[in-house]
Amino acid sequence: MAGRGPWISCSGMSFPATRLRRLRRTGALRGLVRETDLSVDHLVYPLFVTHGQDRREPVASMPGIERLTISHLAEEAGQIAQLGVPAVLLFGIPADKDTAASGAYDDEGIVQLAVRALKQAQPDLTVITDVCLCEYTSHGHCGVVRDDGEVDNDVTLELLAKTAISHAAAGADAVAPSDMMDGRVGAIRAQLDSEGHSEVPILAYSAKFASAFYGPFREAAESTPEFGDRRGYQMDPANGREAVREAKIDVAEGADMVMVKPALPYLDVIRRVREEVDVPVAAYNVSGEYAALKAAAANGWLDERGAVLESLTAIRRAGADVIVTYHAKDVARWLQD
């Protein structure tokens, strides 16, 4: 073998080392054998809609992201549709909050009005609504809080189901419960079916971890808890098997899709969930992940385009069929280049 270059051994056989590099030599060859694709069709863009008139409020910790009043939704929806992003995930910030989260299920609430505006402006844009109470409660927790400070699971289920019904009635294409109450998928599915909305799918936040990566979102959605934290109902970041159990339970209760949130610190969980369920798997590339890359790019420490595309490809490679990401509009532009 002298004069033929370095050799490697594999399964008892020897091959020239260059064999591993031949298909990497040109861009065309790399594209031909690429195992994981990333396209705009995989992306969902989060939107924050707020009360008031004619305002676009930048979120300081999330460069490029704004809270929009309904008057600006048509413009934003048009831009999203023009870029080819197929879906949005809608979060509402109401004018008033109370302990019963009444703004969440008000038929004339901020999200309900926004859904109607979006569907009128862009009928083909898929509108998914976040179903949770944290933006609407005066204390910032995701459910009704009892006198002892604990979130009342079963009372909260009733309000979540009412919220999902109001979203569906407004025209939402899918509802996405993110509260992590036990049994909420079953309660919402039963209510949707009984009130004539059996065609509306549920995207369940099945494995939502009590993560340190939510800070910028809580600024954007004005949903930071006034006391305590959410560790009593969101998942412990140390638990992977539990995430699989949660996903399986949600599918059994009627979830049409399941989600892992956050994405990048939980690629192993995305993979495990993908292997264990037969429904589509979504991953939420959350605000802290977005803010970290934006800050690094702004300081010249990373190439933003390269880092974002690599990150989202990794989420796809882990098994996500759908990626909710604040990078969606930028990625759509980059993929068109």
Q: Is the pLDDT of residue 3 over 60?
A: no
Band (pLDDT 50/70/90 cuts) for residue 252 is very high
Produce one character per residue of 31-59: b if its CB has 16 or more CB atoms within 10 Å, e if not.
eeeeeeebebebbbbbbbbbbeeeeeeeb
Whose CA is closest to 185, among 161, 159, 153? 161
User: Are the C-beta atoms of residues 297 and 17 closer than 8 Å to each other?
Assistant: no
Residue 58 has pLDDT above 50, yes or no: yes
Q: What is the pLDDT of residues 270-279, one digit of tens each?
A: 999 999 999 9
Amino acid 2: pLDDT: 46
What is the spatial distance between Cα 169 and Cα 214, in angstroms, rounded to a whole number?
Answer: 30
Q: Higher pLDDT residue, 146 or 224?
A: 146
Q: Taking the alpha carbons of 91, 93, 94, 100 in that order, is the dihedral positive or negative?
A: positive
pLDDT in tens, 113-165: 999 999 999 999 999 999 998 888 887 777 777 878 788 889 999 999 999 99
Burial class (CB in 10 A: 0-12, 13-18, 19+), 25: exposed
Look at residue 227 in the predicted model and tell me its pLDDT: 63
Active site amino acids? 208, 261
Write down the pLDDT at residue 47. Answer: 96
Report the distance separating Cα 18 and Cα 174, nearest Å.
Answer: 50
Q: Quick: pLDDT tens for 20-55.
A: 788 888 999 888 998 999 999 999 999 999 988 888
Domains of the chain: 36-336 (3.20.20.70)
On whether the CB atoms of residues 73 and 117 are closer than 8 A, the answer is yes
pLDDT at position 254 over 50? yes
> Average pLDDT of 106-112?
95
The string of pLDDT tens digits covering residues 262-305 is 999 999 999 999 999 999 999 999 999 999 999 999 999 999 99
Find the helix packing angle between 328-336 and 304-318, rounded to 10°. Answer: 100
The 10s digit of each residue's pLDDT in 197-223 is 999 999 999 999 999 999 887 777 666
> Residue 101: which pLDDT band, with cuts at 50, 70 and 90?
confident
User: What is the pTM (predicted TM-score) of this model?
Assistant: 0.91
